[in-house]
Amino acid sequence: MKKILMIGTGGTIACKQTEQGLTPGITAEDVLAYIPAVKEVCQVEALQVLDLDSSNMTPSHWKIIVQAIEAHYKDYDGFVICHGTDTLAYTAAALSYMIQNSQKPIVITGSQKPINREVTDAKTNLLDSFIYASDDESQNVSIVFDGKVICGTRAKKDRAKSYNAFSSINFPYLAVIQDGMIIRYIPENEITQEVKFYYDMSDKVCLLKLFPGMKADVLSYLFDNYDVLVIESFGVGGIPATLMDTFYEEMEKWRNTDKLAVMTTQVAREGSNMTIYEVGRQVKQDFHMIEAYDMTLEATLTKLMWIKGMGASNKMLRKMFYQEINRDILFTRKAFVEVN
């Protein structure tokens, strides 16, 4: 029987009702008491490392989670992390970069209703997570939620209240879990390298979401204060004419430094392609600009934080950004041609 470590971080799954609303308060060990059937699946031990509403999750908290997994990595066959849903996709993406080449599964789950409610999705999500974490074929970072297994770099929360809160973006579900059985859609890749743990995530990465009528002066502030500016543009990606002059001034100003702008899209599915329209093609050509293509926003931001956290130069970042990690990008061949 596999030995799994459950790591508690708080979140709705561990919330209690108070006069001020739901707040984390159920310990990891108490959470386990609600799923006695887990004893038939695996041997479980619990470790509480955080007690947060996931809206308060930060890179420093990701570091705590990574430290806990590294400290116990040799002692367990897999890990299940209980997490709040609001930032769960960010944490799954971040851990995909902070823990690489893991032959042992690192499963992240949560719920839309607390586990102590009579009607809740928590018990099913948690038991499914242990089933998946105990399977010989499972590996790397993934999310188990509502019977679906999602690659850690491909998830997005797209429903605020429904039990099917997460979707896999631009990539199939890895598997589904039905009646305790795992039905795999995507075979796991063989991992031959040793597991690696990373801790430093840069706080010099910023996201700018474009909207009609935005004033251009925000660009100057962001370029002054951040090393990497992720621009969440419209459609397949581009810079509106009202921002173009200032954007060109800033890009010229920082051309020979390690400042960088990365283009992504506000549209969740099908990704960016700046070469389609004039508003994107010209700026990409003039500044050799990189874009996220089919990557999720969560993966784009956390990957850049991880790369810059290692002190990578602009040139190195351009290459590392397009190296596939935990299935985070499919458009690598075209991207490598463009950056080289």
Backbone angles phi, psi at 335, to 5 degrees: -65, -40
Walk along the chain (340 residues) and give the pLDDT tens digit of each residue: 999 999 999 988 887 766 666 767 688 888 999 999 999 999 999 999 999 989 999 999 999 999 999 999 999 999 999 999 999 999 999 999 999 999 999 999 999 999 988 899 999 999 999 999 999 999 999 999 999 999 999 999 999 989 999 999 999 999 999 999 999 999 888 899 999 999 999 999 999 999 998 999 999 999 999 999 999 988 777 788 888 888 888 888 888 888 898 999 888 888 787 666 555 666 766 567 788 899 999 999 999 999 999 999 888 998 899 999 999 998 755 554 455 4
pTM above 0.75, yes or no: yes
Task: Classify domain 205-339 by CATH architecture.
Answer: 3-Layer(aba) Sandwich (3.40)
Ranges of H-type helices in 117-229: 122-133, 217-225
The tokens 């590392």 sit on which residue? 320
Query: How far is Cα 295 from Cα 312, in angstroms, rounded to an integer?
Result: 20
User: What residue ranges of the chain are covered by domains with CATH 3.40.50.1170?
Assistant: 3-197
314: CB partners within 8 A, 6+ apart: 257, 258, 259, 260
**Residue 12 is a catalytic residue:** yes
Query: How far is Cα 291 from Cα 322, in angstroms, rounded to an integer?
Result: 10
In the chain, the amino acid numbered 303 is: K
Considering only CA atoms, which of 269, 301, 54 is closest in space to residue 153? 301
Count of CB atoms situated within 10 Å of the CB of 172: 12
Question: For the packed helices 88-98 and 297-309, what is the interaxial angle rounded to 10 degrees?
Answer: 40
Count the alpha carbons within 13 Å of 320 in the hemisphere toward its beta carbon: 17
User: What residue ranges of the chain are covered by domains with CATH 3.40.50.40?
Assistant: 205-339
274: CB partners within 8 A, 6+ apart: 236, 237, 238, 263, 280, 281, 283, 284, 289, 291
The tokens 């890895």 sit on which residue? 174
Query: How far is Cα 264 from Cα 266, in angstroms, rounded to an integer?
Result: 7
Partners of 22 in beta bridges: 17
In the chain, the amino acid numbered 196 is: K
In this prediction, residue 165 carries a pLDDT of 95
Q: Given the residues 12, 87, 109, 264, select the one marked as catalytic.
A: 12
Ranges of H-type helices in the chain: 28-32, 59-72, 88-98, 122-133, 217-225, 241-253, 278-287, 297-309, 314-321, 332-339
Query: How far is Cα 337 from Cα 51, in angstroms, rounded to an integer?
Result: 45
Considering only CA atoms, which of 78, 57, 145, 133 is closest in space to residue 109? 145
State the fold for domain 3-197. Rossmann fold (3.40.50)
In this prediction, residue 337 carries a pLDDT of 47
